[in-house]
Chains A and B, each alone.
Chain A
Amino acid sequence: MQTPSSVVIRLRVNGDLRECAVTPSTTLLEALRYGLGLTGSKQGCDKGDCGACTVVVDGEPVLACISLALAYHDGAEVTTIEGVAEQGGPHPLQDAFDLTGAAQCGFCTPGILMSAWALLEKAPDPSREEVARALSGNLCRCTGYTKIFEAVEMAAARLRERGARRSP
């Protein structure tokens, strides 16, 4: 088999500019996980069905396992689960997932959390239905989703509180 030769691309990930060798068929997920060691994003199906690989690009959740890495060369900022924590502490969403028991096995958690993060950036006070809709591309097999809904709502409330404290 002719192995396609690699090229080096530049990815903007979590505020860093990182170089990574990829082939034309390397997915964004493979580049993140195996090229850059950002293993927080997970591979559950490798065909865009489960959402475990979800990252956020330009404020929108993107399935990294069916996105080609080459397309992100010198491109838009990619945020992964590793880029969500704040100044050495967990983001309120990450804290809320822990407090409510929203992460059982935790394998879907990074993807779900990224979808929720993108939602809360746009909709600070989402209804339960909006939360469910925003997470409908992410499969969880452990929780029945109840505690995930609670986590997102708890984080939203905390973020709103924080916003209220900051604005005069």
Chain B
Amino acid sequence: MDIPTGRAMPSDERLAPPAWEEGRTGPPHGEFSVIGKRNRKVEGLAKSTGQAIYADDLRLPRMLHAKLLRSIHAHARIRSIDASAALALAGVHAVITGKDLPEYYGIIPWTQDEQALCEEKARYTGDAIAAVAADSELIAEEALRLIRVDYEVLPAVMTIEEALAHPEIKVNERTKDGNISKHVHLDFGDVQAGLAGSDVVVEGDYWYEGSTHTPIEPHCCVADFDPTGFLTVWSSTQVAHYLHRDLARVLGLPTQRIRVVQPVVGGAFGGKSEPFSLEFCTAKLSMVTGRPVKILYTREEVFYAHRGRHPMRMRYRTGITREGKLTAVDATIKIDGGAYSSFGLVTTYYSGQLLTAPYAMPAYRFDSTRVFTNKPCCGPKRGHGSVQPRFAFECQLDKLAEAVGLDPFELRRRNLMGADARTVNGMRVTSNGFPQCLDAVERASGWKDKFRRLPYGRGVGVAGSMYISGTNYCIYPNEMPQSGVQLKLDRSGRATVFCGASDIGQGSDSMLAYIVCEELGLELRDVRVVAADTDLTPVDLGSYSSRETFMVGNACLDAARKLRHEVGETLARTWGCRRDEVVLANGVACSARDPGRECMSVKEAFQHTEARIGTLGSVGWYQSPKLGGDYRGGTIGASPAYSFTAHVVEVECDPETGFVEVKTVWIAHDCGRALSPVAVEGQMEGSAYMGLAEALLEEHVFKAAAPHHGPGLHDGPSLLDYRIPTSLDVPEFVSLIIESIDPEGPYGAKEAGEGPLHPSIPALANAIYDALGVRCDALPFSPPRVLRLLREPGARARWERARAQVGVSASC
């Protein structure tokens, strides 16, 4: 890895967030005028009128189109590549192979194990081997067929079990230990004693099937290496900054001669949060040909590019006292990583580290192993690494509640950790609205009249969760801020916010604009956001781990408040009032003392301020405090704030067919202060939708070997075969926003993008149990699986027994 820059220790003054006399969590004066209102998005109309420009909408003069040749074998040594016939084809400009881009890269500096084009070995069906640039996509495709690859086919490992059983079939040479990508074992408290002292111990085995992000926009990149030796890359990425660094490494160019621009991105969900072959290949081909080059992945390629949800095989032992207090949790987790590391080091930690709230656990142990297999690489999908264990654990809680005769809500309430707590693995929890989340979904769903009371086939289930608002540290160690914002005001009355933040549809651009509007009294249309352009914007680490609102929002709040104080100071002098009597709101500046007379437009206020102090600009930045447990890996999972969610799912199941229909999902999410309720609801609904889709429909799985092909072909790499829900498949979503007001969040805000996905899967599994008396411990809960469970002896009797218990649970 390259030596990170910026290791000089920052001063305390630089690290401490400014202590504003107004505080960080309330309105800058009196009441909010923009924050918390149902605002438009800054780019909303551009999107609804077809004006928003995505990567594939870019066309540059003389632009070539490139295509990638992909391995037809799941595991094969590349003996030689003959591209002469392809190069001879009219309209073909260049062919590159692994030799042209030998540098290894990877999003985590310690596990760089990928090449843009495989040099010696293909590790999954679909691994990229060569790239062709041609006048058109059609010609490039034709040229791919003319490239002769001499493969030596190797045996492939396709499952976790095969990977562990056959260390001699090494998928990825960059690991020392067989096919182990990462192993983490962490112990907190005395698990043995805790389990031994429990009144009830529930053991359960769970399987979480893989799924993929499926953004509607396929990955696309345009690169232009111009005659001055400057490279510009427009890519559908959610991490422009990390891409910038990896491009420099792999291409051997200085970072200051590369510009990465993120156009509008058509969905990502974690699937565009690391560099991909297309970015390196377009750049290299542009360097080779001296012309701009575009690659647009086909939908099929998006399925193979993947980086989606890791399949996990999980075993939990959970102990509880008769009174319903958790005693100890013991987890053993095997993770199918696919062929490369990606974020896998973090995934392996997250599979254990993020389970320790919102319930207090006296003792906890997890043992997680991520293995390499000859399949497309898994990575971070919305709720990275923690959705799978959360599914298992919340199902465990349902079983425990039944075992001790408690209502599942009551069981959860007896184990709440509350606000200002420390988890068993050393994570600091500040604001915590989980109890309110439970209350809200219990009330709204009519739980007490439904649980164990609905007729056979219908049921309700509950689950809870927590998630991080950003990771506490940058992916590469350094002492520089995690988020930076520059703000420019000018005499036209306009503000421009410059920030590296990556809007992938969640609304981070709008969030920046709302904060600037709130602080400076501007109307939304008077703020322009320039984001995710490494030439123009200060670094933000990107859109992952639900960090944008908390970290970027804080940086923006500070930048805006600095200028707000300058404007306030100017007007205080003009009117002879105190600065805190100056009000900026809705395009008007006035004094609270005499708003009728002491009043002007904010535009005039900016002009007066510019006259007083000069050109108006400011910066703000965010860096999280040192957090986490004092042990190896103790910083992974540390976050400045945690969000909390509870779901109740109501289902109607058909016992004849095994078909599960979700009727309604009540989602209560504690996002701190909802800066934009519309956007927060959108994240809650979208998250619940995505979780239910994983639970019911989606299977990112691969075919076994057959007479005409080897193993590793995707089972259905199209939007018809890989079933994501249509408008006819979605239930009613009821979004209940809980605002705990976080002490360190911008105006008290926390994340909303990923947390609300987690409980949807276990809440559904628990609802199916309430409806049918069968435990869905493996995903997806498809009709064949549910039918199989229904046909096991005693299913109906279990349902009867559970209902008979209702008297007990109602009395608690």
Taking Cβ atoms with an 8 Å cutoff, the residues of A that contact B are 1, 3, 25, 33-34, 38-47, 49-50, 52, 80-82, 84-85, 90, 93-95, 97-110, 113, 131-133, 135-149
Tell me the residues in window 251-302 of chain B with beta carbons closer than 8 Å to chain A beta carbons. Answer: 264-269, 296, 298-299
The 7 closest A-B pairs by CB, nearest first: A40-B50, A107-B266, A105-B505, A106-B47, A144-B689, A81-B50, A98-B44
- The answer, yes or no, to whether B730 is at the interface (CB within 8 Å) is yes
Given contact pairs A144-B733, A145-B727, A103 touches B269 in the complex (Cβ within 8 A): no
- The answer, yes or no, to whether B811 is at the interface (CB within 8 Å) is no
A146 x B685 contact (CB < 8 A): yes
Cross-interface CB contact of B267 among A97, A101, A105, cutoff 8 Å: A105
Cross-interface CB contact of B216 among A50, A85, A100, cutoff 8 Å: A50
B91 x A40 contact (CB < 8 A): no
Q: List 8 A-B contacts (CB under 8 A).
A: A38-B50, A47-B720, A90-B45, A98-B44, A103-B41, A136-B728, A141-B267, A144-B730
Task: Give min CB distance, B696 to chain A, whole Å.
Answer: 13
Cross-interface CB contact of A40 among B51, B59, B139, B214, cutoff 8 Å: B51
Query: Which residues of the partner chain B approach A1 to less than 8 Å between Cβ atoms?
Result: 89-91, 138-139, 142
Cross-interface CB contact of B299 among A3, A47, A142, A148, cutoff 8 Å: A47
Task: Give min CB distance, A139 to chain B, whole Å.
Answer: 6
- The answer, yes or no, to whether B679 is at the interface (CB within 8 Å) is yes
For the complex, what is the distance from the CA of A155 to the CA of B265, rounded to whole Å?
26
B505 x A90 contact (CB < 8 A): no
Additional 4 contacts, C-beta under 8 A, given A108-B216, A136-B727: A44-B217, A44-B719, A132-B728, A144-B686
Cross-interface CB contact of A139 among B47, B506, B507, B724, cutoff 8 Å: B724
Query: Which residues of the partner chain A approach B730 to less than 8 Å between Cβ atoms?
Result: 144-146
Task: Give min CB distance, B135 to chain A, whole Å.
Answer: 8
Cross-interface CB contact of A141 among B40, B44, B269, B720, cutoff 8 Å: B269
For the complex, what is the distance from the CA of A84 to the CA of B47, rounded to whole Å?
13
Task: Give min CB distance, A157 to chain B, whole Å.
Answer: 17
Question: Contact mask B587-602 → A, CB, 8 Å, 1/0?
Answer: 0000000000000000
For the complex, what is the distance from the CA of A163 to the CA of B56, rounded to whole Å?
38
Task: Give min CB distance, A102 to chain B, whole Å.
Answer: 8
In the complex, residue of chain A having the shortest beta-carbon distance to the beta carbon of B688:
A144
For the complex, what is the distance from the CA of A152 to the CA of B141, rounded to whole Å?
40
Given contact pairs A45-B719, A47-B718, A146-B733, A104 touches B216 in the complex (Cβ within 8 A): no
B689 x A145 contact (CB < 8 A): yes
Query: Which residues of the partner chain A approach B266 to less than 8 Å between Cβ atoms?
Result: 42, 44, 105-108
Query: Which residues of the partner chain A approach B505 to less than 8 Å between Cβ atoms?
Result: 104-106, 142
In the complex, residue of chain A having the shortest beta-carbon distance to the beta carbon of B679:
A101
Query: Which residues of the partner chain B approach A103 to less than 8 Å between Cβ atoms?
Result: 41, 44, 47-48
For the complex, what is the distance from the CA of A13 to the CA of B138, rounded to whole Å?
26
For the complex, what is the distance from the CA of A149 to the CA of B142, rounded to whole Å?
43
For the complex, what is the distance from the CA of A39 to the CA of B214, rounded to whole Å?
21
A49 x B50 contact (CB < 8 A): no
B216 x A140 contact (CB < 8 A): yes
Query: Which residues of the partner chain B approach A102 to less than 8 Å between Cβ atoms?
Result: 48
Query: Which residues of the partner chain B approach A82 to less than 8 Å between Cβ atoms?
Result: 49-50
- The answer, yes or no, to whether B215 is at the interface (CB within 8 Å) is yes
Task: Give min CB distance, B266 to chain A, whole Å.
Answer: 3
Given contact pairs A1-B90, A105-B216, A39 touches B57 in the complex (Cβ within 8 A): yes
Question: Contact mask B298-322 → A, CB, 8 Å, 1/0?
Answer: 1100000000000000000000000
In the complex, residue of chain A having the shortest beta-carbon distance to the beta carbon of B731:
A144
The contact size tier of chain B is 35 or more
For the complex, what is the distance from the CA of A135 to the CA of B54, rounded to whole Å?
23
Given contact pairs A39-B53, A106-B47, A147 touches B299 in the complex (Cβ within 8 A): no
B724 x A142 contact (CB < 8 A): no
Query: Which residues of the partner chain A approach B679 to less than 8 Å between Cβ atoms?
Result: 101
- The answer, yes or no, to whether B654 is at the interface (CB within 8 Å) is no
Task: Give min CB distance, A33 to chain B, whole Å.
Answer: 8
- The answer, yes or no, to whether B164 is at the interface (CB within 8 Å) is no
For the complex, what is the distance from the CA of A100 to the CA of B57, rounded to whole Å?
26
Query: Which residues of the partner chain A approach B479 to less than 8 Å between Cβ atoms?
Result: none
Task: Give min CB distance, A67 to chain B, whole Å.
Answer: 17
Task: Give min CB distance, B412 to chain A, whole Å.
Answer: 25
- The answer, yes or no, to whether B726 is at the interface (CB within 8 Å) is yes
For the complex, what is the distance from the CA of A146 to the CA of B733, rounded to whole Å?
7
Task: Give min CB distance, A10 to chain B, whole Å.
Answer: 22
B682 x A101 contact (CB < 8 A): yes
In the complex, residue of chain A having the shortest beta-carbon distance to the beta carbon of B137:
A30
Given contact pairs A85-B49, A106-B505, A138 touches B218 in the complex (Cβ within 8 A): no
Query: Which residues of the partner chain A approach B45 to less than 8 Å between Cβ atoms?
Result: 90, 94-95, 98
B90 x A107 contact (CB < 8 A): no
Task: Give min CB distance, B309 to chain A, whole Å.
Answer: 14
Query: Which residues of the partner chain A approach B162 to less than 8 Å between Cβ atoms?
Result: none
Tell me the residues in window 721-744 of chain B with beta carbons closer than 8 Å to chain A beta carbons. Answer: 724, 726-728, 730, 732-733
B686 x A104 contact (CB < 8 A): yes
Given contact pairs A52-B216, A107-B54, A147 touches B681 in the complex (Cβ within 8 A): yes
Given contact pairs A46-B298, A80-B50, A141-B215, A98 touches B504 in the complex (Cβ within 8 A): no
In the complex, residue of chain B having the shortest beta-carbon distance to the beta carbon of A104:
B505
Query: Which residues of the partner chain A approach B728 to less than 8 Å between Cβ atoms?
Result: 132-133, 136
For the complex, what is the distance from the CA of A145 to the CA of B728, rounded to whole Å?
9
For the complex, what is the distance from the CA of A121 to the CA of B482, rounded to whole Å?
49
Task: Give min CB distance, B772 to chain A, whole Å.
Answer: 25
For the complex, what is the distance from the CA of A143 to the CA of B57, rounded to whole Å?
23
Cross-interface CB contact of A106 among B89, B136, B264, B689, cutoff 8 Å: B264
For the complex, what is the distance from the CA of A134 to the CA of B776, rounded to whole Å?
33
Task: Give min CB distance, A115 to chain B, whole Å.
Answer: 10
In the complex, residue of chain B having the shortest beta-carbon distance to the beta carbon of A135:
B727
Query: Which residues of the partner chain B approach A143 to less than 8 Å between Cβ atoms?
Result: 682, 685-686, 689
Query: Which residues of the partner chain B approach A145 to less than 8 Å between Cβ atoms?
Result: 689, 727, 730
For the complex, what is the distance from the CA of A63 to the CA of B429, rounded to whole Å?
50
Query: Which residues of the partner chain B approach A49 to less than 8 Å between Cβ atoms?
Result: 299, 718-720
Given contact pairs A42-B217, A105-B266, A144 touches B48 in the complex (Cβ within 8 A): no
Query: Which residues of the partner chain A approach B265 to less than 8 Å between Cβ atoms?
Result: 105
Task: Give min CB distance, A12 to chain B, whole Å.
Answer: 18
In the complex, residue of chain B having the shortest beta-carbon distance to the beta carbon of A101:
B678
B214 x A141 contact (CB < 8 A): yes
For the complex, what is the distance from the CA of A97 to the CA of B52, rounded to whole Å?
14
For the complex, what is the distance from the CA of A144 to the CA of B296, rounded to whole Å?
26
Task: Give min CB distance, B196 to chain A, whole Å.
Answer: 45
- The answer, yes or no, to whether B43 is at the interface (CB within 8 Å) is yes
Task: Give min CB distance, A81 to chain B, whole Å.
Answer: 3
